[in-house]
Amino acid sequence: MNANRLALLFLCFFFVLSSCHQQTEEDRVKKVITTVQKAAEEKDVKEILSHLSKTYRDPQGNDYDGVKGLLLLYFYRHQQISIFIPDLAVSVTDSSGAAKFQAVLTGRNKGAGNILPESLGVYVFDVTFVKDAEEWKIASAKWERLADSMPASSGQ
């Protein structure tokens, strides 16, 4: 009887382990993006910066401290922030990774009757990651407002 219970327990344990999803490196990079997204909505600068490499540099000329300043300015201007990322493409090779996505950012100030956001933009992001001590860190990010990157219409 004890052998049957042990076998059943082992079988249950095996099924539980085999059904567990093993997190891939791509999943870990996606988790960084979603964690930063949530932290931005909560205006948690410290949490966002914990996912940036200390050697962060972007094509816009910002470094780690520059990003901190941008975040503080944006969070000061908008009491409430929402971010929606409809699709996220991630690729990983060895100790580097990349994420490309569009994000809808809205900013609004709290107040009665404030239904529409004061600030709305769709941005295209191209983010580069490095693996630092088994954690993925954002090494660089390029972003552009989607309307600014589209060619002007001919107005026909």
pLDDT for the residue 12: 47
Question: pLDDT (tens digit, 9 = 90+) per residue, 85-101?
Answer: 999 999 999 899 999 99
Count CA atoms closer than 13 A to 29's CA, side-chain side.
Answer: 25
Nearest CA-CA partner of 85 in 31, 149, 151: 31
**pTM greater than 0.85 (yes/no):** no
What is the set of domains in the chain, with CATH numbers?
A: 23-148 (3.10.450.50)
pLDDT for the residue 2: 53
